Amino acid sequence: MAGKTQTVIVGGGLIGAFTAYFLARHGQAVTVLERSFVGAQSSGANFGNLRLQGRDPRQYPLSLRAQAIWEEFETLAGESIEYHRTGHLYIARQDDEVDKLEHHAQTARGHGLEIEMLGTAALAARYPYLGRDIRAATFCGRDATANPRLATPAVMRAARRLGAKVIEHCEVGSIGHKGGCFEIGTRTHGSFKADHLVNAAGAWGGEIAAWFGEKVPMFSAGPPQFVTEPLPYIVEPSMQMVDGSVIFRQIPRGNVIVAGYPRTASEAGSSRTLVPPAKTLSAMQTLGAIVPALGDAHVIRVWSGVEGYLLDMIPIIGPSSARDGLFHAFGCCGHGFQIAPGIGAVLCDLISTGSTQTPIEAFHIDRYRGDVTANEKIAREFDQSAAR
């Protein structure tokens, strides 16, 4: 049996890493247990978008707290994660989508963000490489991108420097609670004792919550991602169709990273999500319509990841109702790269002071005891995934 620590975190993704970082900075003894390696899952495989506009309104306070941390991240971690404040363009090609843009812009402005609404003439002047069938777009200059392959290991290294212990290839197989503390059993490293336990197990977080009798409907999926050969660098902002079909960004080395939707359900019982070739082809067609110069690019690599989705498309964050000292932070529904620093900071508040100034009530696991309003798009995907 390893010695007792204040907090054990299950999961060495970005949420586990930021939680460890903030707790260690606060002087707490913290141990992270990761069954694979740091950033092995969604946190290392994602698209790398740090977008504020277009958020679910319930996420804005958390998102803004997170973005402020990203903005000082390289100073905080002491290394580059290829963070660029590129700005982000939301693109409408149909008239009815322009209303959606207006709606997103209004919500974002309500949270203090500066959003520019650009019509066809302004778009042609500013981004002459864009195709001609674009009706309008919104631009938020505070939106940014970073390299997910670099970010999670960098945060974890910073946490380690502050005293956090990180154990990789260490799967948590059981959790008990005796004499006021958690006993965490692993398959390879014996057991650990802790006063607090953080469930940051990503798409597998629902399994751990269920060990405590807290069941939530979740499914695992990933959007197909691919990258092209390097091409002359022309596209500075990241760009996204407001219909949700395609998102892309060009990195200064010239490669274009693209994500095509809808998501694909992950393989049951495995940590893989396949990328159907048809999705790559259709996303490349859309890319060619938006930026004709990129239409003939060769795709050199495809991948995806395993992300946890909940029916209402917002994560589970906050204290458990079943067990004092247990905190959940999982099921980020495709938004966790951006909000992870905010979640880590909030969990540190809760564990070290018992409360937080950031509103997180909407994310409480108890909402699934009542009627949850399902997000229509994700509910359809849930059904398809159950039917497979």
Ligand X SMILES: Cc1cc2nc3c(=O)[nH]c(=O)nc-3n(C[C@H](O)[C@H](O)[C@H](O)COP(=O)(O)OP(=O)(O)OC[C@H]3O[C@@H](n4cnc5c(N)ncnc54)[C@H](O)[C@@H]3O)c2cc1C
Whichever of 18 and 127 has its CB closer to ligand X, that residue is 18
Whichever of 32 and 137 has its CB closer to ligand X, that residue is 32
The stretch among 36-44, 250-258, 284-292, 374-382 that binds ligand X (CB under 6 A) is 36-44
The correct pick among 7, 19, 49, 228 for binding ligand X (CB under 6 A) is 49
Site for ligand X, residues 303 to 332, rule: CB under 6 A? 304-305, 307, 330, 332
Site for ligand X, residues 147 to 206, rule: CB under 6 A? 171-172, 200-204
Pairing label, strands 30-33, 238-241: unpaired
- Burial of residue 365 (number of CB atoms within 10 Å: 0-12, 13-18, 19+): buried
Q: Cis peptide leading into 319, omega within 30 of 0?
A: no
The correct pick among 26, 29, 36, 254 for binding ligand X (CB under 6 A) is 36
Can you give 270-293 as a three-state secondary structure string?
CCCCCCCHHHHHHHHHHHHHHCHH
Nearest approach in angstroms of CB 173 to ligand X is 7
Q: Are 219 and 203 in contact (CB under 8 A)?
A: no
Size of the site for ligand X (CB under 6 A): 41
The correct pick among 7, 8, 9, 13 for binding ligand X (CB under 6 A) is 13
Nearest approach in angstroms of CB 170 to ligand X is 6
* Helix, strand, coil distribution of the chain in percent, nearest 5: 35, 25, 40
Question: 132 φ, ψ to 5°?
Answer: -90, -5
User: What is the distance between the alpha carbons of residues 178 and 198, in angstroms, rounded to a whole number?
Assistant: 17
User: What is the distance between the alpha carbons of residues 97 and 117, in angstroms, rounded to a whole number?
Assistant: 13
The correct pick among 43, 67, 138, 220 for binding ligand X (CB under 6 A) is 43
The correct pick among 7, 67, 138, 225 for binding ligand X (CB under 6 A) is 225
Whichever of 202 and 237 has its CB closer to ligand X, that residue is 202
Q: Which residue ranges make up the site for ligand X (CB under 6 A)?
A: 10-16, 33-36, 40-43, 45-49, 171-172, 200-204, 222-223, 225, 304-305, 307, 330, 332, 334-338, 340
